[in-house]
Amino acid sequence: MGNTNVNVSITKKIAVTAILLAVCIASQFLKNLSVYITGPVVNLCIILAVMTAGLSWGVILSVITPITAFFIAASPVMQAVPGIIPLIMCGNAVLAIMAAVFFKPAVLKSDRLLNLKSVLMAVISALAKGVFMGLTIALWLLPSFIPAESPLRGKMSIFQTTFSVTQFATALIGFVYFFIVWIPIRKTTEKN
């Protein structure tokens, strides 16, 4: 009997993560319109995976989404410097870990979803992702691996902003979306 409950739980977590991955993939088809469409949706899905299925499922989504992004709508910088993909995976994983360790307890241990602690933990989690990606991608990887003669060098400041400040902003927007969608999701999960 106990083994059946474990299998049902794992099946639910796989199903939730698969649905969130499908949402991420659908949003990635809009990537060329704006990173401010795709980025917040992917970050929201990572946060939701952590909140509903657990940290390991959030990390799995963190690893898969940069791969799907590469195949769906790879940016020129991703094609020129494929080493960026593992660092994006790690940046997403930083968000998942921060959400699990700091944000999730702030949300679940309070009667009110929007409280000072949950908002502060959301900002700190988004900032951790932005800082990680800023240090590893914007300040180290891109300047080190885009050749001086490459036409991409002229867009370095845009790339550096995209992989630092923009990552912080899109993660923060993902948390705003979370605050909006969590109330109905929480009510549904409490009923089940």
- Four-way CATH pick for 2-191: 3.40.190, 1.10.287, 1.10.1760, 4.10.860: 1.10.1760
7-15 long-range CB contacts below 8 Å, 24 or more apart?
A: 12/53, 13/52, 13/53, 13/54, 13/57
How much is the pLDDT for 131? 98
Mean pLDDT score, 78-98: 96
User: Tokens standing for 116?
Assistant: 């000072």
Percent of the chain predicted with pLDDT > 70:
95
User: Tokens standing for 43?
Assistant: 């970050």
Measured CA to CA, the distance from residue 112 to residue 130 in angstroms comes to: 27
Q: Is 40 helix (H, G, I), strand (E, B) or coil?
A: helix
How much is the pLDDT for 175? 98
How much is the pLDDT for 190? 63
How much is the pLDDT for 4? 66
Domain ranges of the chain: 2-191
Mean pLDDT of the chain: 92
- Higher pLDDT, residue 94 or 185: 94
Measured CA to CA, the distance from residue 138 to residue 158 in angstroms comes to: 10
Does 115 score more than 70 pLDDT? yes
Query: Is pTM beyond 0.85 here?
Result: yes
pLDDT band at 192 (very low <50, low <70, confident <90, very high): low
Task: List, for residues 6-63, the tens digit of each pLDDT value.
Answer: 777 999 999 999 999 999 999 999 887 889 999 999 999 999 999 999 999 999 999 9
